[in-house]
Amino acid sequence: MKNTNVAIIPIRDNSKRLKKKNFLKIKKKRLFEIVLDTVKKTNLFNQIILSSNNKIVQKFCNGKNVIFDKRPNRLCKDNSTVAQVCKYIIQKYGLKKNYNFCVIYPTAILLKKQTLIKSYRKFLRSKSDSLIGTSKLNYSPFKAIEKKNLFYAPVFKTKIKKKFHKNYFFSNGSFYWSRVNEFNINKTFYAKKMSIFEVNEKEAFDLDTKEDWLVLKKIFKKWK
């Protein structure tokens, strides 16, 4: 492996809607453990950093290629962003400018190793500043409405088209690739030179509620 690649798995202890969702268990394994296993199996990464404010995570690290990062409280708030966490990790561990890094979310347990490998290859080919995991948008974004004071109004003033463009995608939060130098410049994964990798609907399952959790458990039994 010519390139130096670092994986970052952000494992916050507290979660807003579904409590401690990163630490829920399926088949006696916590969700972040399942994701960690997948990341290891890709053989893409020289180093894997588990960033968490829960010391339980530490026992899954060996101090060599799997490192426990005790995340500071200031980066464990509901409004803390993954970009802020990445900036902190890059500075703390002195990641070099030419290093590639990938953020993989700890609830992405349906994500297959081959998907990560393919996304990495595309990231290198694309020569982009970043690459994010996406899904196709199945409805027109121009139909979105929002609450304004007591009433509601369209988000976009653009006229709604009967047939919207099929090449609309949204970030599904499964993974984000970037290079340290470009990330330091852009300070975001949503760079001007951004590429996407389309992830199928099941792999990109979003865990946010108790109902999601019940569905995810059923899917996982058939998936793995």
Q: Which domains does the chain have, with CATH numbers?
A: 5-135+171-223 (3.90.550.10)
pLDDT in tens, 8-28: 999 988 777 788 899 999 988
Q: What pLDDT score was predicted for residue 224?
A: 54
pTM attached to this predicted model: 0.89
The number of CA neighbours under 13 Å toward the Cβ of 153 is 8
pLDDT in tens, 202-222: 898 888 888 998 899 888 877
> Residue 167 above 80 pLDDT?
no
Query: Under a CB-based contact definition with an 8 Å cutoff, are residues 89 and 50 in contact?
Result: no
Separation between Cα atoms, residue 29 and residue 40, nearest integer Å:
16
54-55-56-60 Cα dihedral, nearest 10 degrees: 120
> Given pLDDT bands bounded at 50, 70 and 90, which one contains residue 42?
very high
Residue among 62, 53, 38 at smallest CA distance from 175: 38
Q: Interior CA angle at 63 toward 57 and 67, to 5°?
A: 50
Separation between Cα atoms, residue 224 and residue 37, nearest integer Å:
12
Separation between Cα atoms, residue 40 and residue 50, nearest integer Å:
12
Residue 172 CB neighbour total at 10 angstroms: 20
